[in-house]
Each structure stands twice: as C-alpha cells, then as structure tokens.
Amino acid sequence: MSNIGICIDPVFVNLSYPDRIRKIAALGFKNYEFWSPGYSLTDKGMIRELKDFDLLGALNAELGLSVTDILYSPDGEGANLIRREDKNKLVDSFGAFAEAAKKIRCGACIVTGGTLIPGQGRDESLLNLADNLSALLGEAEKNGMTLLLEPLNSRIDHRDTFLDDPRLAVTVVKTLNSPRMKILYDIYHMQIMGGNILSFVQENLAYIGHFHLAGVPGRHEPYRGELDYAHIVREVSAMGYAACFGLEYWPLEAAEISLGKSLNYLSSPEPVPRVSPVCR
C-alpha cells in the first residue's frame, strides 16, 4: 500500500490544528504536513497564529504520526529567493525554524522559487535563486534538514512565480549537488504547466523528495479530474519511490468523506471508478 499523507491546511478549516490532527489520525493517515509555523488557514481565511510545536510533538507521539515537511517562508511572504538582498533574512531565520521543526521530528521544508521582480531578467533571477539556495542549504545541512524546492504553476494559481518549470528546478538541484536538496514535484501544478508526468518522474526520480497531489482542473479531490492518480501512484511506487505522497487539495465534499474516499482510491491495488472533472 502506498504511503499517503495530507496537508491539513485546506481541510477541517473550522477546527483547531490539534483537532485537525486527531481527525486525520482517526481516518487512518500516518503522515501530515502544514504550510506555516506562524499562519493558519481557517474558515475565516488565513490568520496570524503561532503554532505550539511542543503540543504538536506530544500529539504526534500519542497518535503515532509524522510530519513530512513544513513550508519555510521567513516573515510570512517577506523573503524572496530571487532577491539578492534577502539572503540574510532567509539564512538568519532558519535556525529558529529548524529548532521548532525538531520538536515535531520534521526533517524537511518546502521553499518556492520566488516572486517575479519588475525589471529583473531571467538570468539574474536564476543566479540569485541558486546563490540564496546555496546559503540556505548550508543552514539546512547544519540542522539535518532537507530543502524541497517546489515549482508552481504560473497559469492559474501563481501567475507571478518565477520557478514554474520542473526541469529548471532539477537543474538547480543538480548544480547545488547535495543529498539535502531535492524538488517537491506537485503533480497538480506540473500537469497545468505541461503534463508528461510519468516520463518526467521516470527521468528525474533521484532528484524528487516529495509529491503533492490534487485533481486537475480545480485542485479538488484526486479522484476527480483528468488524471488517473491511482495509476500514477502505482507507477511511481513501482519506479522505487517509497516515501510519502501528500494530498493538498480543497474538498468539494465534506472533508471526512472526501479524505476517506481519497485514501481508498489511492490505496486500492486495482483501478476504481473516478468522478468526472469539476472546474470550480
């Protein structure tokens, strides 16, 4: 059975994060992730809320859960990986972040490729990205953490993102040449940017540290949409990937029902019926 995790930010948004964690444990999940130590997505939108890592660590131990990764974003969205002047901000905040992550035994963090800067060309942006990541990687290595560089789609959800090409992300990872530097391959984002999912994964699996899954179009349940995710998960697992596939989607059905269906769909050894694409 494939290892399926869940990003708890878009689900059970009316509950506190400890209660969300209890919910996903009751559903059978063993792994989860969340976006930020200092912000929470609720039914009232994104709010400033510093998470209690001591409490989360105790809850994980009680329920037998692991945290696969957390988004690293110093000062909210204040640091930009393609802005040279932000290097100190990126590096100086990492130690405290890593100490918090250790309390919940989380060994990886997500970094995204920066927001486009008016007047700054592609070559300069790429150079700054590699330079800032190199500095950040040094801090990650000191703290025993892995950086997961995530390309995003620039067509629908993140129109101002710089890094929207998974091959460019792999090139950066190869250049930095560290076992602590991988890419996060979000299949939802990369299907929108060009598809050819399984061929890319087959060619680049050694550089992929984590996967995200969501239905295309709409970013809803994986059993909705144009992709046969159960087939993709089986194929990637057969290639030798043994780590976690993280669900990151906004449910159209009640979260408890939706997540139960998703687990059943992705864990079944045989094809199961899917729902027609919904674009909302």
Q: List alpha helices for 122-278, DSSP H.
A: 122-142, 166-176, 187-193, 197-204, 229-238, 255-267
Residue 105 resides in a domain: yes
Band the pLDDT of 73: cuts 50, 70, 90. confident
Residue pLDDT, tens place only, 228-279? 999 999 999 999 999 999 999 999 999 999 999 999 999 876 655 556 555 4
Residue 275 resides in a domain: no
Whether the CB-CB separation of 71 and 46 falls below 8 Å is answered with: no
Residue 272 resides in a domain: no
Domain count along the chain: 1
Residue 277 resides in a domain: no
What percent of the chain lies above the pLDDT cut of 70? 94
Which residues, in sequence order, are CB contacts of 15 under 8 Å at separation 6+?
23
Domain extent at residue 175:
4-267
Residue 112 resides in a domain: yes
Q: Collapsing DSSP states into helix, strand and coil, what is residue 147? A: strand
| CA–CA dist 169, 185 (Å, integer) | 10
| CA–CA dist 148, 212 (Å, integer) | 12
Q: What is the CATH number of the domain that holds 136?
A: 3.20.20.150
| CA–CA dist 147, 69 (Å, integer) | 9
Residue 276 resides in a domain: no
Residue 274 resides in a domain: no
* pTM (two decimals): 0.94
The most distant pair of C-alpha atoms in the chain lies apart, rounded to whole Å, by 52
Q: Collapsing DSSP states into helix, strand and coil, what is residue 69? A: strand
Whether the CB-CB separation of 107 and 145 falls below 8 Å is answered with: yes
pLDDT of residue 280: 47
Residue 203 resides in a domain: yes
Residue pLDDT, tens place only, 170-195? 999 999 999 999 999 999 999 999 99
